[in-house]
Amino acid sequence: MNCFDIHSHKPSPRTVVSLSATGDESLPPEGTLFSVGIHPWDSATCTDTEHLYRMAALPGCVMIGEAGIDKLRGAPVDIQKELLKTHIQLSEQLQKPLLLHIVKATDEIIALHKELRPEMPWIWHGFRGNAHTAEMLLKRGFYLSIGERFNADAVAAIPDDRLLVETDCSRLTIQDIVRNVAETRHDTPAHLAEITSQNARTLLGKVCL
């Protein structure tokens, strides 16, 4: 089963590995696909975006993030919001999708999307919200990436063309996660792997073949 992992912290084939732009993380091996951002958890200590801009321009960078708002950790929300706007601007400038880490800030993210009207897709990674929240985000054009833990009703309601899968920090393999999500959606793992890989190709191009 050939699956594509849209977000992980472990480099492997057919995976986008998440890197920090705090300056503490080295570049992955050549040929590795990666995203880069200043995580909301680091927003209180990392305000220099020079490293972010430098890494984001590298050929292996296919997404901007993780970026976002986390009301339970990091700098005050207004500071996180301004840092997120920097990531959004960079996403638009480089024409690379935005990978979001959001905790208890759904209203703020939807308001930002309405205000800024981005052309590039936004991906909510590790989505665990309910079906109503999923519906609101889907109406705004979001992609929802599902990991080890999820709301079954929400996952069952996501259209085929907006669904992605990820391992994040899980000990499960991407194949395990695909099987769990497929079971929830009354689908086959092979079909779910196919549609989520196609969605990754739509977002990232041929690099994820």
Q: Please give the domain boundaries of the chain with CATH numbers for all domains.
A: 5-208 (3.20.20.140)
DSSP helix/strand/coil, 32? coil
40-59 b/e (C-beta count within 10 Å ≥ 16 → b): bbbbeebeeeebbeebbeee
pLDDT given at position 1:
78
Instruction: Give the pLDDT of residue 143.
Output: 98
Stated pTM of the model: 0.95
Half-sphere exposure of 139 (CA within 13 A, CB side): 9
Mean pLDDT to the nearest integer, 174-179: 98
Distance of alpha carbon 206 from alpha carbon 82, whole angstroms = 32
Residue 184 CB neighbours (<10 A):
17
* pLDDT (mean) for 177-189: 97
Q: Is the pLDDT of residue 24 over 90?
A: no
CA angle 157, 123, 57 (to 5 degrees): 160
Structure tokens given for 24: 């503490």
The pLDDT of residue 31 is: 84
Tokens 């024409």 -> residue: 95
